[in-house]
C-alpha cells in the first residue's frame, strides 16, 4: 500500500529538521532496517530507519531543505506494488487530509497533508509492541516515526525517556526566516537571526533556572600529583590524555563512591542509575552541545580519551547522533584552557548536577605545618539540583571527587 513518509519528531520539542540526504535511490527497494533518510536537528544528525520493507517511489524534498515535523518528504510503496500514475496517487493520498495541512517547503513536490489518525488500527513493529508493553506504555499514546506513522523502536525509547524525565517547557515559536533591524538600532549594528540551536539552548537554560532549585559547592583541589601522572602516561601512550579526561574519570569515581548522587529527579520518582554516563560540554561551531559518554567507570583512561576526541571531532563536523545527546545524570564543563579560574554553570536538564572546571594555576597553599608554599591547584564548582541531591550528599560527593584527585593512581584501576 502506498504511503507518505513524513518528517519524524527526532527529539521532544523539535518542530522542524533539515533533510540531509537520501541514502536510497528512487525506485530502489529497502528492508525494514535500512536507513531511508538522513535528517539533521539543531544538535544532531539522525538516521531514519524504514520500519518495514518497501520501495522509494518519489522523494518530495530536496537535500538541504528545512521541513516541518509531520510534513511529507517521500512517497513509499510496497515491494512489487503497482501504483499507476504517481501524481494521481499523491492527489489521492491528500484527498482525506485535514482542512489546514502542515506547510511543506517550496522545494518539495505536491503539498500534502497528514491523513487523519486511524485509532482503530495502530501500526507498530513487533519489537516496539513488546517494549511498550514491558514499559507500561499504551500504543495509542505514542507517535510513530516509521513509514506511514508506524511505531518503531526509537519511538518507544523516546517515550520511555520522556516518562522518566521532568516535564519540559513548551517549545518556543519558530524563528522568522529573517529579522528586520529595529528602528532604534545603533548605527552600524546589525540584527542576526537566532539559529535553531541558539534558541534551543536558550529555552533549555531558561527552563533549568526556572524549574530547578540550584545550589553550588566550591572546592580548590591540589593537582600536582595528577599532573605528574598525566605526564608519565603521555610519555608512553599513543593516545594523549588531557586534564579533562582525568576530570571525567574522577567524576565517575565520585559517582561510584557516592551512588546516591547518580540520580535524576522526575515528577513521579527518583531515577537511580547503575552505570556512570557523563555528558561533556563541547563548543561546536554551531553552538554548545553535550554528548554523553556511556559507562565511564568501565573505560580505561586511553579509551576514554579516544571517545572524547571522537565526540569533539564529530561535534565539529555536525555528525553527532541524537542518541549521543541523551542520558546521563551529570555534565562536565571546562573553561580552564581559556584561563577562567572559576565559574558556576547552569544544570543541563534532566541532569541533577554539573561540574564547572577552572584553570590550573600555581597558588599559595598553607601546609599543616603552617608553612606557605606554591602548589598547582584547580577550582571546581558543583551546581546541584536540590530536589534530587541534598547539601550533605553533595558535600560527600565533593569530598569523594577531591580524594580521587589527590590519589590519581586510583583512576587507573
CA dist., res. 387 & res. 25, Å (int): 51
Cα 254 to its chain centre, rounded Å, is: 23
Is 386 considered catalytic here? Answer: yes
Query: How far apart are the two ends of the chain, measured CA to CA in Å?
Result: 57
Joined together, the cell numbers standing for residue 83 give: 501504483
Q: Of these residues, 214, 255, 351, 386, which one is catalytic?
A: 386
Residue with cell 529555552: 203
Q: Of 160, 355, 377, 393, which is closest to residue 259 (Cα–Cα)?
A: 393
Joined together, the cell numbers standing for residue 107 give: 522545494
**Cβ(277)–Cβ(295) under 8 Å?**
yes
Residue with cell 556511556: 294
Cα–Cα distance list, 144 to 2, 37, 159, 162 (Å): 17, 16, 11, 15
**Cβ(375)–Cβ(222) under 8 Å?**
yes
Radius of gyration of the chain (CA): 25
CA dist., res. 176 & res. 212, Å (int): 30
CA dist., res. 360 & res. 336, Å (int): 7
Joined together, the cell numbers standing for residue 386 give: 536540590
Q: What is the DSSP letter of 259?
A: G
**Cβ(324)–Cβ(48) under 8 Å?**
no
Cα 203 to its chain centre, rounded Å, is: 14
Q: Which residues are catalytic?
A: 386
Amino acid at each position: 500500500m502506498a504511503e507518505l513518509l513524513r518528517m519524524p519528531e527526532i527529539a521532544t520539542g523539535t518542530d522542524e529538521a533539515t533533510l540531509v540526504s537520501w541514502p536510497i535511490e528512487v525506485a530502489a527497494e529497502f528492508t525494514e532496517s535500512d536507513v531511508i533518510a538522513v535528517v539533521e536537528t539543531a544538535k544532531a544528525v539522525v538516521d531514519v530507519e524504514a520500519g518495514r520493507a518497501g520501495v522509494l517511489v518519489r522523494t518530495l524534498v530536496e537535500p538541504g531543505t528545512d521541513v516541518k515535523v509531520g510534513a511529507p518528504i517521500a512517497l513509499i510503496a510496497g515491494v512489487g506494488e503497482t501504483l499507476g500514475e504517481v501524481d494521481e496517487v499523491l492527489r489521492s493520498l491528500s484527498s482525506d487530509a485535514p482542512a489546514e495541512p502542515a506547510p511543506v517547503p517550496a522545494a518539495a513536490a505536491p503539498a500534502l497533508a497528514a491523513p487523519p489518525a486511524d485509532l482503530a488500527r495502530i501500526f507498530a513493529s513487533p519489537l516496539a509492541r513488546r517494549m511498550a508493553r514491558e514499559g507500561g506504555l499504551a500504543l495509542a499514546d505514542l507517535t510513530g516515526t516509521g513509514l506511514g506513522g508506524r511505531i518503531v523502536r526509537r519511538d518507544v525509547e523516546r517515550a520511555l525517556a520522556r516518562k522518566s524525565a521532568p516535564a519540559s517547557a513548551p517549545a518556543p515559536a519558530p524563528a522568522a526566516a529573517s529579522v528586520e533591524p529595529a528602528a532604534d538600532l545603533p548605527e552600524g549594528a546589525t540584527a542576526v537571526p537566532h539559529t535553531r540551536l541558539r534558541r534551543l539552548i536558550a529555552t533549555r537554560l531558561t527552563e533549568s533556572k526556572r524549574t530547578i532549585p540550584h545550589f553550588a559547592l566550591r572546592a580548590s583541589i591540589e593537582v600536582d600529583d595528577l599532573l605528574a601522572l598525566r605526564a608519565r602516561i603521555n610519555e608512553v601512550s599513543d593516545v594523549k590524555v588531557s586534564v579533562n579526561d582525568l576530570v571525567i574519570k574522577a567524576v565517575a569515581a565520585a559517582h561510584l563512591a557516592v551512588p546516591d548522587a547518580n540520580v535524576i529527579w522526575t515528577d513521579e520518582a527518583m531515577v537511580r542509575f547503575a552505570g556512570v554516563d557523563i555528558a561533556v560540554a563541547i563548543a561546536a561551531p554551531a553552538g554548545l552541545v553535550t554528548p554523553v559518554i556511556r559507562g565511564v567507570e568501565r573505560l580505561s583512561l586511553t579509551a576514554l580519551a579516544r571517545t572524547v576526541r571522537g565526540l569533539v571531532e564529530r561535534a565539529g563536523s555536525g555528525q553527532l547522533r541524537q542518541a549521543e545527546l541523551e542520558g546521563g545524570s551529570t555534565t562536565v564543563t571546562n573553561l580552564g584552557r581559556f584561563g577562567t579560574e572559576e565559574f558556576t554553570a547552569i544544570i543541563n536538564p534532566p541532569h541533577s548536577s554539573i561540574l564547572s572546571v577552572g584553570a590550573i594555576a600555581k597558588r599559595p597553599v598553607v601546609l599543616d605545618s603552617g608553612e606557605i608554599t606554591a602548589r598547582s591547584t584547580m577550582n571546581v564548582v558543583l551546581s546541584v539540583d536540590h530536589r534530587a541531591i541534598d547539601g550533605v550528599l553533595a558535600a560527600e560527593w565533593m569530598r569523594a571527587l577531591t580524594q580521587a584527585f589527590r590519589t590519581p593512581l586510583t583512576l587507573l584501576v
